[in-house]
Amino acid sequence: MPEHDSLQSLASDAEELLAEILSVVRAACHRRGYDPDRSEIDGLVSRITLKLIDEDAKILRSFEGRSDRRTWLFTIADRFVLRRIRSRKKMMSLEDAPPESFVIQPDQEERVFSREIREKFLEVFSKLTPHEQQLLCLWLQGFRTAVIAREMGIKKESVYREISALKKKIQTMINGE
């Protein structure tokens, strides 16, 4: 079974990933001339995070290391933001964009957002049972279902059911429902 250190390492990696997601979402919004408010940015970050871990972390596992992880995340966030803009049907020209949309936010504000996301992740992770934490760690590390089942001493079919339930639980906790 994975040791406590590997859980801490995974939690640390996940925190870094969440902080990067916030940064690339803001950059993608800036690139597209889209100026969402703070709550909409938080919503985009949450939806992108859930998208990364959805379907057995299919998108997260697609990262092959052929580019920088931040570049890869930016591409995902940029496409997500573009779809969001199109769905709202509020495309604006550069002439119509407010001047402040071209200003990059100060690093201090980004650090505050990153810290808040890390705190939210740690809060969510700490509310999971040790069994759920272990399941999440194994699943995010990319272990196959059979390996997860063997490591956790459960049936393979149970892994699918528990991962689905865990994703719903995390989504509920993130959305504050």
Task: Give the chain's domain count.
Answer: 1
Task: State pTM to two decimals.
Answer: 0.46
DSSP, collapsed to helix, strand or coil, labels residue 105 as coil
Q: Over pLDDT 70: what percentage of the chain? A: 75
Per-residue pLDDT reduced to its tens digit, 74-94 = 888 888 888 887 776 555 555
Q: What does the alpha-carbon distance between residue 15 and residue 10 come to, in Å, rounded to a whole number?
A: 8
Q: Is residue 25 situated within a structural domain?
A: yes
Note the pLDDT of residue 9: 59
Structure tokens at 29: 């919004």
Per-residue pLDDT reduced to its tens digit, 31-75 = 888 888 888 888 888 888 888 777 667 777 777 778 887 888 888
Q: Is residue 12 situated within a structural domain?
A: yes
Q: Is residue 134 situated within a structural domain?
A: no
Q: What does the alpha-carbon distance between residue 33 and residue 84 come to, in Å, rounded to a whole number?
A: 13
Q: Is residue 139 situated within a structural domain?
A: no
How is residue 153 annotated by DSSP? T
Q: Is residue 56 situated within a structural domain?
A: yes
Q: In which domain, by residue range, is 17 found? A: 4-127
Q: Is residue 18 situated within a structural domain?
A: yes
Q: Is residue 122 situated within a structural domain?
A: yes
Q: Is residue 136 situated within a structural domain?
A: no
